[in-house]
Amino acid sequence: MTIPGPLAGKVALVTGASRGIGAATARALAAAGAHVILVARTARDLEAVEQDIFDAGGSATIAPCDLAEPDAIIRLATAITGRWSALDVLVINAAVLPVLTPVWQIEPRDLNRALLLNVAATQALIASFHAALRKSAGARVIGVTSSVGAGPRAYWGGYGASKAAFDNLLDTYAQEVRTISDIRVAIVDPGATRTAMRAKAYPGEDPASVKAPEVVGAHIAALAARDFASPLRERVEAA
């Protein structure tokens, strides 16, 4: 079933769609009429989000995938482009938060995983889906970033470095395609949001003191449905 809306007939893919901002974004995109492909590692969690979308009258497909595995993104793209010729919306949301620690104490394994998932997987997603995005009439690529990518913060060096590289990749891609295609790229800073990653970083914080992920999801879905100058960078403020 397709819900009438500004994204009716569109195909959207959301990474990290099993919880938090990714799940909220997937629900919002489906509510706007898109068929949403849900990507994350855990099938059971994706199935719960898929059921929420079905219950609301929307349409979704789960695609369990560990983006950090070699060739996983290529296999994902092959499966998706074999079913849908074009991809209209790509939301790159999946990320990992390394242990917060001084730069000289960062564990190489933690840093390497952050760079793999937050940076290398981003490039692989763009490379694997670029052709499908080109086939869309007005594709949108939306990356979910963090303020520490643009403004370094003590103890956040590993995550901040990965997000700085993430932002650079997306901004560069936007510049490369804006005059030769209809692809538009946005980088969204969700700000303080009630997620598992936020709880890990700020364990003593009252979750009710920060905005719900649904606020960010609604913002991203609205962005996917409108035109904008590319590259665009926006911060989501509290509702």
* Residues with a known catalytic role: 159
CA distance 26 to 15: 9
Identify the bridge partners of residue 143 per DSSP, sorted by sequence position.
92, 187
> Given the structure tokens 């938090």, which residue do they identify?
20
Q: Concatenated DSSP letters for 11-28?
A: EEEEESTTSHHHHHHHHH
Residue 217, SS3?
Answer: helix
In three-state form (DSSP H/G/I as H, E/B as E, the rest C), the secondary structure along 73-140 is HHHHHHHHHHHCCCCCEEEECCCCCCCCCCHHHCCHHHHHHHHHHHHHHHHHHHHHHHHHHHCCCCCE
- Strand 89-92 and strand 11-15: pairing? parallel
Element (H, E) at 158: helix 157-177
Dihedral in degrees, nearest 10, Cα atoms 86, 76, 195, 159: -100
Q: Give the single-character DSSP code of 207.
A: G
